Amino acid sequence: MRELYRTSVQEFQAENPEEPINNWVEQMTDGEIEDFLEDGTIDDSTIMMLINAIYFKGKWKTPFDEDATMTADFKVSETETADVEMMFVDDDFKLLQSRVLNAEVLELPYKGERYAMTVILPDVSTNLRDVTSRLNRRTLDDILAQLKEESPRRLRLRMPKFALDTDQSMKEMLQRLGINHAFGDAAKFRKMTSTPVKISDVTHRAVIEVDEEGTVAAAATGVGMVLLSAYVGPEVNVDRPFLFIIRDTQENVNLFSGQFVDPEGDNLAL
């Protein structure tokens, strides 16, 4: 583990075994994620946990004008609106109109320009659900490749200031993707241990904050294994549900992705 993954292995402590894990996640995410595991998550049937954490903090290449932030309507649906703090900036951005998704695709670079947030905003003639249904790995890769070739152009951009904090089990989602054996009695982890084991659950928590200065994002995932016995140009107004992706544009790696649907309701960070 040290040589190949630059990480460490340690035994569960006898009492409050979640405590050192929570302390590590909090340290790795600069305090953004606290109390990752609830007390009692690790019990006598838990023989191993794999813990992963990622933290990102980026400042916009062009910060939004704090004095221009104002309360505005966010169109949650055709019949419902909610108040949101709408930020404003006037600068050069890459913008692509996707006919495949019926959406505008916008790139907001962070300082240094290696990292960027990509916003996928459905056209007024469609909605987020329809856009999501047309989005898969291939279409996303194609659209991001097209966006990379676009030249920045002057835009007046209005975008919500928002924060998301989600905590969810990934077990059912992974099973829908076809990962089933690892959770059942047919699990095979013989190269890891001679003891018959299976994955009991995969817990994921993600936190993201977007404001005028930039973005703070953090995520942690825990995999528990148990015994089998147990305006100068166009204006872009992000005033309706949208998708966002925080990317390493140099390595073409998506670090975080999610959707913002309702300033006053449930939002899902994917």
pLDDT in tens, 107-141: 999 999 999 999 999 999 999 999 999 988 899 99
DSSP bridge partners of 209: 163, 216
Q: Which of 43-57, 133-147, 221-235 has the lowest mean pLDDT?
A: 221-235
Phi-psi region at 252: left, alpha or beta (left = phi > 0; alpha = psi -120 to 50): left
Can you give the pLDDT at residue 267? Answer: 55
**Which residues make Cβ contacts (< 8 Å) with residue 120, sequence separation at least 6?**
98, 101, 103, 104, 105, 131, 135, 242, 243, 244, 245
Contact of 112 with 56, CB cutoff 8 Å: no
Mean pLDDT value across residues 44-55: 88
Can you give the pLDDT at residue 186? Answer: 87
Can you give the pLDDT at residue 216? Answer: 81
DSSP code, position 269: -
Mean pLDDT value across residues 90-99: 94
Longest dimension (CA), the chain: 67
107 token code pair: 């790139």
DSSP bridge partners of 49: 224
The pTM (predicted TM-score) of the whole model is 0.83
- Strands 81-98 and 153-160 turn out to be antiparallel
Contact of 147 with 106, CB cutoff 8 Å: no
Q: Which of 75-84, 202-211, 224-233 has the lowest mean pLDDT?
A: 224-233
Q: Please tell me the distance from the alpha carbon of residue 204 to that of residue 257, in angstroms, as a whole number.
A: 13
Can you give the pLDDT at residue 8? Answer: 85
φ and ψ at 130, to 5 degrees?
-65, -40
DSSP bridge partners of 223: 50, 202
